[in-house]
Amino acid sequence: MGWLDALRGLAALVVVFDHSSYSFLAEFRKELMPEFNTSRYGIMVFFLVSGYIIPASLERRGCIRTFWIGRVLRIYPLWTAVVTAVLAAGLLGFAHIRDFDGQSVATVAVAHVTLLQELLGTPNLLLVLWTLSYEMAFYLLVVALFTVRLHKRSAAVAATLAMLAAVSVTVGVSLPESALSGVIGTGPLIALASIAMVVSICCASATAPVLRVFGGLLGGVVALVLVPLNGTVPIWEGMVILAVMFLGTAVYRAEHGQSTWRYAACTAIVVVACAVASAYWHGDGNNFTRRGWIVAFLLAMLTFGVGLALRRRQLPGWLVGLGTISYSVYLVHPVLLAVSDGTVGRWPQDNLVLEVTFYVVLLPLCILTYRYIEAPSQRWGRKLARRMSPP
């Protein structure tokens, strides 16, 4: 699995560059972004890797309960530490806390705890948290397919989602941001979605087959409603994100003999073609932004393909090690940037020395957060999963 860690390490570096360039390389960023959207490149690589790993984790365990235990203890400990740090920095005046459009503290807190805030009409406390909402939607869909024994149809799901994205652009389906929140209200939607998510996870983790199926399907419905109807990205891009993750799963199935490489390759062609066509025909009227997205997407697919081709080769240890701490890198770097922007401010001219210095400060800190937060919580997760697994 070292090649997957290497891909995550590379993606993490690119995402950090994308965000830190606002502060230290603003002029260079303005020239680069129209040609190559670094943010979309990094997250698409992350989504492909998640698609490859997450269903495998569930199927290896064969138990939804232990899957959710593993996910909770993988994501929330560091997430909690990072959220606490940024709130503390804001209260002490070292960082700016964004406005939440008049939403109550309770509403914002509940939306973030579900990790679905991006799909519930609530601004993200930290911008990077938006991708976790799509990760959570993917988890719910993976569990739904597992409960009805359709989890091995990953290629068909990926192709279907990609084609729906293309169709939505072709027929001109367009909704405002957080459209569903605008119809029924942000507060009621958060309450309904949160209750449905808790019921879904509890029922899907039960031993009774009927409850498992009900819980799985309920979670799948939540994901399929929120992604197209209440995201802040266009419908087509939300569907493409899910299609990309299921494409990663289709590659996993081909790699492990559960499908054929020809089937996976055909799926990749469909997903790439539909994604590029959707981005190209999306009526934003901005060819430069469109080109930057398409280039980033194609390079992300190519990067994953190269990683797959080199999966049996010895890869650079530093890159694999960086992938090990990539979750820390992803979540910790915006906190440092928030403090930097809130105290020193953004630099009016490009300063490569400060950009490099930021990495020099960030990476040792992430080694510490991995060692003292991530690694122990993962060990606890494995121990608890063994205790809670069915005999």
State the DSSP string of 168-206. Answer: HHHTT----TTHHHHHH-HHHHHHHHHHHHHHHHHHHTS
pLDDT in tens, 319-350: 999 999 999 999 999 999 999 999 988 888 89
Per-residue confidence (pLDDT) for residue 171, from 0 to 100:
87
149: left (phi over 0), alpha (psi -120 to 50) or beta: left
Per-residue confidence (pLDDT) for residue 352, from 0 to 100:
93
For the beta carbon of residue 212, count every other beta carbon within 10 angstroms. Answer: 20
For the beta carbon of residue 144, count every other beta carbon within 10 angstroms. Answer: 24
* CA separation for the pair 319, 330 (Å, rounded): 15
Q: Which residue matches tokens 């680069």? A: 32
- In sequence order, which ranges of 62-185 are alpha helices (DSSP H)? 64-91, 105-113, 130-147, 154-170, 179-184
Pair 384, 73: CB distance under 8 Å: yes
Per-residue confidence (pLDDT) for residue 348, from 0 to 100:
86
Binning pLDDT at 50, 70 and 90, where does residue 126 land?
A: very high
Binning pLDDT at 50, 70 and 90, where does residue 98 land?
A: confident
Question: How confident is the model over 292-300, as a mean pLDDT?
Answer: 95
Mean pLDDT of the chain: 93
* CA separation for the pair 32, 354 (Å, rounded): 19
